[in-house]
Amino acid sequence: MLPVAVVISGRGSNMEAIARAAQRPGAAFKVVRVVADRESAAGLARAQALAIPTSVVPFGQYPDRESFDVALAADLEASGARLIALAGFMRILSTGFVERFAGRLLNIHPSLLPKYKGLDTHARALAARDSHHGASVHYVTPELDGGPVIVQGKLRILAGDTADALSARVHALEHIIYPHACSLVASGRVQWRQGAIYFDGSPLAAPLVEESDVAA
């Protein structure tokens, strides 16, 4: 079973989806630790309720980002994790950190990348009158939200959608695609080779897509 650490800043609903998937019979991965950058992260209690070890690397107690990243890296290495899933982690990691964990670091972003890197993705998709929106699980590279995408969850934007309504539907989709991506990596079907994704032994030309119109 592939040991996975999940790194959070907030509520941790994606962390919980990953952890619950890991606890199902036949899962190819297990969550060995949940790490937060602040004591107040609500997801810590959710992890403890699932009997998952937690730790906090309090960002505010480090003089700069580099020293925080060194402490976070040490915590993650100590966990024994071989895959690290950023799930609502609200910090930008230094290039040194990202390169150290290259090929072992995933993130989920609430847009159909490469569209809408950064913040306010739901409002931006609405403002652009896009027909579809969704979320992407990608390998992390030094370019923010720019690493190769493994899987996307895609849904239709409905007439009258608000950013909040869209956010809720995208979230439900995230809870499906993030555990799925972890399974694909853990089973070896998805592999990182020198900056590119291989799927079942061949280069992945485009992200895997799960289409869904899950209700909020």
The residue within the footprint of ligand GRF, chosen from 46, 109, 133, 138 (CB under 6 A), is 109
Spatial contact of 135 and 107, defined as CB atoms under 8 Å apart = no
Q: Characterize 144-176 residue by residue with b for buried, 16 or more Cβ atoms within 10 angstroms of its Cβ, and e for exposed.
A: ebebebbbbbbbebeeebeeeebbebbbbbbbb
The residue within the footprint of ligand GRF, chosen from 31, 87, 105, 157 (CB under 6 A), is 87
Question: In this structure, which amino acid lies at residue 193?
Answer: R
- Decide if residue 138 touches ligand GRF (CB under 6 A): no
- Decide if residue 179 touches ligand GRF (CB under 6 A): no
Q: Which residue has the closest beta carbon to ligand GRF?
A: 88
Distance CA 112, CA 123 (A): 13
Distance CA 199, CA 134 (A): 21
> Applying CB under 6 A, what is the total number of residues that bind ligand GRF?
14
- Nearest approach, Cβ of residue 168 and ligand GRF (Å): 10
Cβ proximity to ligand GRF: between 14 and 141 the closer is 14
> Looking at 68-76, 92-100, 104-112, 144-152, which segment touches ligand GRF (CB under 6 A)?
104-112
Query: Which pair of structure tokens corresponds to residue 211?
Result: 């289409």
- Decide if residue 133 touches ligand GRF (CB under 6 A): no
- Decide if residue 135 touches ligand GRF (CB under 6 A): yes
Spatial contact of 65 and 94, defined as CB atoms under 8 Å apart = yes
The residue within the footprint of ligand GRF, chosen from 18, 85, 108, 185 (CB under 6 A), is 108
Spatial contact of 16 and 50, defined as CB atoms under 8 Å apart = yes
Distance CA 87, CA 201 (A): 27
Cβ proximity to ligand GRF: between 191 and 210 the closer is 210
Spatial contact of 31 and 4, defined as CB atoms under 8 Å apart = yes
Residues with active-site annotation: 109
- Decide if residue 2 touches ligand GRF (CB under 6 A): no
| Chain residues in the site for ligand GRF (CB under 6 A) | 8, 10-14, 87-88, 108-110, 135, 171, 174
